[in-house]
Amino acid sequence: MAGLFDLTGRTALITGSVRGIGFSLAEGLCAAGATVVVNGRKQAAVDEAVGKLQAKGYKARGAAFDVADEAAVVAAFDAFDKSGVEIDILINNAGIQFRKPMVELELADWQRVLDTNLTAAFIVGREAAKRMIARGRGGKIINIASLVSEAARATVAPYTAAKGGIKMLTRSMAAEWAKFNIQANSIGPGYILTEMNTALIENPEFDAWVKSSNPAGRWGKPDELAGTAVYLASDASNYVNGQIIYVDGGWLSVL
Would you tell me which residues interact with ligand GCO (CB under 6 A)? 97, 99, 146-148, 153, 156, 159, 189-191, 196-197, 200
**Nearest to residue 29, comparing CAs of 47, 13, 50, 45?**
13
Neighbours of 175 (CB within 10 A): 12
Task: Evaluate whether 17 touches 41 at the Cβ level (below 8 Å).
Answer: no
**Nearest to residue 96, comparing CAs of 210, 24, 16?**
16
The helix (H) or strand (E) run that includes residue 233 is helix 226-233
CA distance 139 to 129: 8
- To ligand GCO, the closest distance from the beta carbon of 96 in angstroms equals 10
**Nearest to residue 89, comparing CAs of 17, 3, 150, 40?**
17
Judged by beta carbon, residue 40 or residue 189, the one nearer ligand GCO is 189
Judged by beta carbon, residue 51 or residue 217, the one nearer ligand GCO is 217
Judged by beta carbon, residue 194 or residue 241, the one nearer ligand GCO is 194
Task: Evaluate whether 230 touches 32 at the Cβ level (below 8 Å).
Answer: yes
- To ligand GCO, the closest distance from the beta carbon of 18 in angstroms equals 17
Judged by beta carbon, residue 30 or residue 192, the one nearer ligand GCO is 192
CA distance 97 to 110: 10
The residues carrying an active-site annotation are: 159
- To ligand GCO, the closest distance from the beta carbon of 39 in angstroms equals 19
CA distance 248 to 224: 10
- To ligand GCO, the closest distance from the beta carbon of 105 in angstroms equals 14
- To ligand GCO, the closest distance from the beta carbon of 188 in angstroms equals 7
CA distance 236 to 5: 6
Instruction: Supply φ then ψ for residue 241, to 5 degrees.
Output: -150, 140
Neighbours of 114 (CB within 10 A): 17
Judged by beta carbon, residue 1 or residue 154, the one nearer ligand GCO is 154
